[in-house]
Amino acid sequence: MTTTEVARPPVRTGDTPAVTVRGLVKAYGGTTVLDGLDLEVRRGECFALLGPNGAGKTTTIEVLEGVLRRDAGEVSVLGEDPATAGRAWRARLGVVSQGEGAGQALSVRETLVHFARYTSTPCPVDELLAAVGLTEQADTRVGSLSGGQRRRLAVALGVQGRPELVFLDEPTTGMDPVARRQFWQLVRDLRADGTTVLLTTHYLDEAAELADRVGVVAGGRLVEVAPPAELGAALRREATVRWREPGGWREVRTEQPAGVLRDLLAAHPCGEVPDLSVTRPGLEDVYLALVGATSGGDPR
């Protein structure tokens, strides 16, 4: 998978982390969703959580937002425990959940104007409309918007108060490709202004495009954390050399493909090895290897 390299401002690694989680446990009935998860998100970075349905991404986000009580573990978000933090702490957060919180009768502009009254530092409405690609729908009633347009409005409401930390839970679900890229630019702008972003997504290209670091959740734990290009470094070291012979296709997996290529060229005096290719695992291959066969379940 090829992605465009985007210059990102440096993360303020010397500051106290925006999010610190140690040994987080959460169960629903007899099913343990989070089983000792550890997580640290630095101030000013965009951190993406990846994982299959049922891995616990949304549960993690809801614990960090203070919406859900944890069963065990230590959690600090912007220096406070979400389970006991007050209204002033919540005003420092932006939340874009998977549900819809806006009423249906107001127009898009009226909705943004209404909710702007609940924050002391609202973004200008016209700028916000442009940022999420809803300028043309400004006077449309929320109930008449498409699913993708409602997601854009949810993003606008989540970042309206210029939060220090914004939680984006599957924010581009239902968006068309143009809207997704407009949203990507909005996230880049937030990060450039110093906002910390914690993002869950099923789109690997989105994680590669936006995230400074990616964490993969599987089995209720964070199994690996790294910048997107470095995720699964051990897996990426192995290359697959593939070529065709009269009897069919041949394939060799090795960490030293140069030696295999040298032997192949020596075995083909004409210097041409039919349909020769050398490939290394991409982000999708690494992700699938890390999560294994985990699938299904409640998408929390």
The pLDDT of residue 271 is above 80:
no
Q: What is the pLDDT of residues 170-227, one digit of tens each?
A: 888 777 788 788 888 888 988 898 999 999 988 888 999 999 999 999 888 998 999 9
DSSP strand pairing (93-96 vs 165-169): parallel
Give the model's pLDDT for residue 183: 82
Contacts of 34 (CB under 8 A, 6+ apart): 24, 25, 26, 27, 56, 59, 60, 63, 70, 73, 220, 221
DSSP strand pairing (196-200 vs 213-218): unpaired
Give the model's pLDDT for residue 12: 55
The CA distance from 207 to 127, in Å, is 25
Give the model's pLDDT for residue 54: 82
Provide the H-helix boundaries in the chain: 57-65, 87-90, 108-116, 125-131, 147-159, 177-192, 204-210, 233-236, 257-267, 283-291
Tell me which residue of 65, 67, 121, 120 sits closest to 89, measured CA to CA.
65
CA distances from 89 to 80, 165, 209 (A): 8, 11, 30
Tell me which residue of 8, 39, 51 sits closest to 201, measured CA to CA.
51
Q: What is the pLDDT of residues 218-236, one digit of tens each?
A: 888 998 999 988 887 777 7
The CA distance from 258 to 263, in Å, is 9
The pLDDT of residue 75 is above 90:
yes
**Number of DSSP helices (H) and strands (E) in the chain, helices first:** 10, 12
Confidence of residue 300 (pLDDT cuts 50, 70, 90): very low
Quick check: pTM over 0.75?
yes
Confidence of residue 14 (pLDDT cuts 50, 70, 90): low
Structure tokens at 47: 């951190």
Q: What is the DSSP letter of 16?
A: P
What is the Cα gyration radius of the chain? 23
CA distances from 95 to 4, 260, 287 (A): 27, 52, 26
CA distances from 270 to 264, 273, 274 (A): 11, 8, 11
Give the model's pLDDT for residue 293: 41
Average pLDDT over residues 148-159: 86
- Cβ 198 vs Cβ 229: under 8 Å: no
Tell me which residue of 45, 48, 42 sits closest to 14, measured CA to CA.
42
SS3 sequence, 146-180?
CHHHHHHHHHHHHHCCCCCEEEEECCCCCCCHHHH
The CA distance from 180 to 172, in Å, is 6
Structure tokens at 160: 């309206």
Give the model's pLDDT for residue 297: 42
Q: What is the pLDDT of residues 25-70, one digit of tens each?
A: 999 988 999 999 999 999 999 999 998 888 899 999 999 999 999 9
- Cβ 204 vs Cβ 284: under 8 Å: yes
Give the model's pLDDT for residue 7: 54
